[in-house]
Amino acid sequence: MELRFATVLLLLSGVCQPCIARQDGPSVLTQVEDSPHPSPDALPQSVFPERPVSWLKLVPNLARDQKDIWLFPISHAVEHHLKPVLVVAAITAGTVAAVDVPSGKYFQRTRSFDGFNRAFSGKNTSIAMFAAPSVHYGISLLRKDSYAQHTFLLAGEAVLGSEFLTSVVKDIDRRMKPIEVPLHGDFSDTWFRSHADSVIGGIGSFPSGHTISAFSVATVYADRYPNPRWHAWVAYGLASAVGFSRISLQSHHPSDVFAGAVLGYAIAHYTVLHAR
C-alpha cells in the first residue's frame, strides 16, 4: 500500500505541474533545470552540493539509488559504516528476542490506545504522508521555489527507493503481523509464516513500510530545512508517531518499526541526499 501511495503522489504532482506552468508562461520544470542555483549561503540546506534532480532525472536517480542500496554489503562504503551497521543489526536482533513477544501480547489485549489508533490509522497516516508533501509542492510551484520543488522530488525518490527494498525483504521474510497471531498465540514463531497481502506490496511484516516512508520523508525535509531546529523535531516526531501507531495497531512488531526507521533515515540521508 505504501508503495502505491508514493507512486500516486509523484504521478499526481507531475500532472499538476504543467497545468500551473501553462498559466505562468515557461514551464516550471524548465525553470528548475535551467535556472542557476542560488549561492549556498542563500539556501536553507545542510547538504552540499545538491544532487541533480528533476522529473526527467527521477527514474535514472531511482535506478542509481537501487544499485547503491543493493550493492552496499559488498561495496567500499561498508568499510566506513561497518560499526553502525553492526550496532543496528545487534539492536534489531535484541528487539526481536526481548521486545517483540511481550509487546505483541500487551497490544493484543489492551484497549488503552483506541483513540490514538483511530487518529493514526493506516489510512490516515498514508493520506497525511501523501497530502503534506503535495501541499508543500503546490505552494512551491505557485511561488516558483525551485529548492522546495527539488525537496519534494528528493522525498519522492527516498520513499520509492526505500519501498522497493521493503517490498522485496517482506516477500523474503514473510513475517506474520501481530494481528495475524491468534489470541494467546506464539509471538516468537512469526517468520516465514505469513500468506497475507500481495507480492508487490510485500507479504511479510519486516520492515514496516509506513515507518520507512515516514522517516524517508522526515529525513529529507529535516536535512534540507535544518533551521529553525524545531523543523527536525516536528518531522521526526510525526514520523515516530507513525511508527508507534504501527505497533499499537498490531500491524507491526517493534523490531519492524525500528528497522524501518533506520532504513528510511539511512536511505534518505546517505543515498538520496548524497551528492553525485
Has residue 183 got a pLDDT over 70? yes
Tens digits of per-residue pLDDT, 103-150? 999 999 999 999 999 999 999 999 999 899 999 999 999 999 999 999
Could you tell me the fold of the domain covering 2-15+58-272? Vanadium-containing Chloroperoxidase; domain 1 (1.20.144)
**Cell triple for 109:** 489485549
Q: What is the mean pLDDT of residues 154-161?
A: 95
Dist CA 112 CA 173 (whole Å)? 30
Cβ-proximal residues to 141 (8 Å cutoff; 6+ apart), any chain? 16, 17, 20, 21, 28, 149
Q: pLDDT per residue over 53-87, tens digit each?
A: 889 999 999 999 999 999 988 887 777 888 999 99
Given a cut of 50, whether residue 217 has pLDDT beyond it is: yes
What pLDDT, on the 0 to 100 scale, is given for residue 90?
Answer: 97
pLDDT of residue 43: 52
Q: Answer with the residue of higher pLDDT: 201 or 237.
A: 237
DSSP for 208-253?
-HHHHHHHHHHHHHHHH--SSTHHHHHHHHHHHHHHHHHHHTTSS-
Residue 48's Cβ-side half-sphere holds a number of Cα atoms within 13 Å equal to 10
pTM here is 0.82
Q: Which pLDDT score, from 0 to 100, does residue 180 have?
A: 94
Could you read off the pLDDT of 10-22 as tens digits, one per residue? Answer: 433 443 343 333 3
Q: Which cell numbers in the block locate residue 172?
A: 523474503
Q: Is the peptide bond before 26 cis (omega within 30 degrees of 0)?
A: no
For residues 237-254, give the mean pLDDT: 97
Where do the domains of the chain lie? Answer: 2-15+58-272
> What separation, in Å, do the N-terminal and C-terminal C-alpha atoms of the chain show?
31
